[in-house]
Amino acid sequence: MRQASNRSRARGDSDARQRSNDPGAWLTGLMQDETGDRLTPTHTTRKGRRLRYYVSNRLISGGKDISGWRLPGPALENAVIDVIVRHLQDAAITHRVLAQPEAESAEAVQTSVANLVTRLQRQAGQVGAALLAKGKIARGQIDLELNPKTLASALGIAADHLRPDLTHVTASFGLRRRGVEAKVIAGDMALQPDPHLRSMLIRAHGWARDLKAGVQLMEIARRESVPGAFIRTRAQLAFLSPKIQAAILDGTQPPELTLKRLVSVTHPLDWSEQERLFGF
């Protein structure tokens, strides 16, 4: 009984530590999108799992909006921490923490930054929420403003001794989708093309060549062991504008441009109309 009680108490202590180290949705009230709309926490349940998201508030209050963001909560929170960590580490390495760098204090400054980085990585929610004053995401970019007093206190350095631009953080930002999954890509993390979408684009060019050569659509469908509608909706990918196709191949297309969206509509023939339709 005593051992069971001790195990239960240990689990409770562990759970308490997890809750204190990672208060859920700690970016609440701190982030907005490029329109100035606040990113609001929400959640859904899928297969018994509770999934957290941050969404542009207009998606909650006004329904669908193609320009709105829907970001996986933990992934966005981790990305914000990673961007701040890399910013602080780069500043320490290049002696851009102090307004007037001094050789004799360089090692102490680097140690202070390293200690703060460790706290950010171990207690992301607590430390990150206190350190971040506000942030904004846009297509391709994330901008963060750090609280100068909190940053100075965390580093043990007077606020007026810090470089003014130390509190401004800018990094690349994107969202890659693969089916129902989404991955936040921030900072110097390389954007990766969606392999399924990329593969389908390449296959579409093969089908388009067959169709131009006189091969019947149903013959292609039988060869591929798929319905005719499958070929018809996907072959049109070969006629997307060069700009859209290049973005698909290198992974820089808008995050909402998924294969599901591309095959759910009939594409305009005009390339500029295609680009407007698909968010370019």
| Model pLDDT for residues 149-158, shown as the tens digit of each residue | 999 999 999 9
> What ranges in the chain are assigned the alpha helix state H?
2-21, 57-61, 73-93, 106-122, 124-131, 148-155, 195-212, 217-224, 228-235, 242-250, 259-263, 271-277
Higher pLDDT, 113 or 102: 113
Judge if 202 and 164 occupy the same domain. no
257 in a structural domain: yes
Judge if 16 and 151 occupy the same domain. yes
pLDDT of residue 214: 95
pLDDT of residue 5: 40
Walk across the sheet containing 140-146 and list its strands. Answer: 31-32, 132-138, 140-146, 168-178, 181-186
For the segment 199-221, the average pLDDT, to the nearest whole number, is 92
231 in a structural domain: yes
pLDDT for residue 189 is more than 60? no
For the segment 155-162, the average pLDDT, to the nearest whole number, is 95
First to last CA, the chain: 64
- Binned at pLDDT 50, 70 and 90, residue 200 comes out as very high
pLDDT of residue 152: 97
106 in a structural domain: yes
pLDDT of residue 172: 86
Judge if 36 and 73 occupy the same domain. yes
- Binned at pLDDT 50, 70 and 90, residue 129 comes out as very high
Judge if 258 and 137 occupy the same domain. no
- Binned at pLDDT 50, 70 and 90, residue 255 comes out as confident
Q: Contact at 8 Å (CB) between 154 and 85?
A: no
For the segment 67-94, the average pLDDT, to the nearest whole number, is 90
pLDDT of residue 29: 95
pLDDT of residue 186: 74
Judge if 105 and 242 occupy the same domain. no
- Binned at pLDDT 50, 70 and 90, residue 254 comes out as confident
- Asked which of 153, 186, 219 is the last residue of a domain, the reply is 186
Local structure of residue 252 (DSSP, 8 states): -
59 in a structural domain: yes
Higher pLDDT, 240 or 174: 240
Judge if 26 and 161 occupy the same domain. yes
pLDDT for residue 38 is more than 90? yes
- Asked which of 186, 212, 233 is the last residue of a domain, the reply is 186
Judge if 136 and 241 occupy the same domain. no
Q: Which residues pair with 176 in a beta bridge?
A: 183
Q: Tens digit of pLDDT for each residue in 22-34? A: 357 999 999 999 9
1 in a structural domain: no
For the segment 226-231, the average pLDDT, to the nearest whole number, is 95
Q: In whole angstroms, how far apart are CA 64 and each of 58, 70, 209? A: 8, 11, 37
- The percent of residues above 90 in pLDDT, for the chain, comes to 55
Give the pairing type, strands 140-146 and 168-178: antiparallel
Tell me whether residue 28 is exposed, middle or buried, using C-beta atoms within 10 angstroms of its C-beta: 0 to 12, 13 to 18, 19 or more.
middle
Q: How far, in Å, CA of 46 to CA of 62, rounded?
A: 23
Judge if 126 and 161 occupy the same domain. yes
Q: Which domain, by its residues, includes 82?
A: 12-186
Judge if 243 and 171 occupy the same domain. no
Our measurement of the distance from residue 92's CA atom to the centroid of its chain's CA atoms, rounded to an integer in Å, reads: 25
Q: Domain tally for the chain? A: 2
Judge if 159 and 221 occupy the same domain. no
Judge if 173 and 238 occupy the same domain. no
- Asked which of 121, 156, 186 is the last residue of a domain, the reply is 186
pLDDT of residue 188: 58
Judge if 42 and 75 occupy the same domain. yes
Beta-carbon count within 10 A of 141 CB? 14
Across the chain, mean pLDDT equals 84
121 in a structural domain: yes
Query: What's the pTM?
Result: 0.61
Tell me whether residue 251 is exposed, middle or buried, using C-beta atoms within 10 angstroms of its C-beta: 0 to 12, 13 to 18, 19 or more.
middle
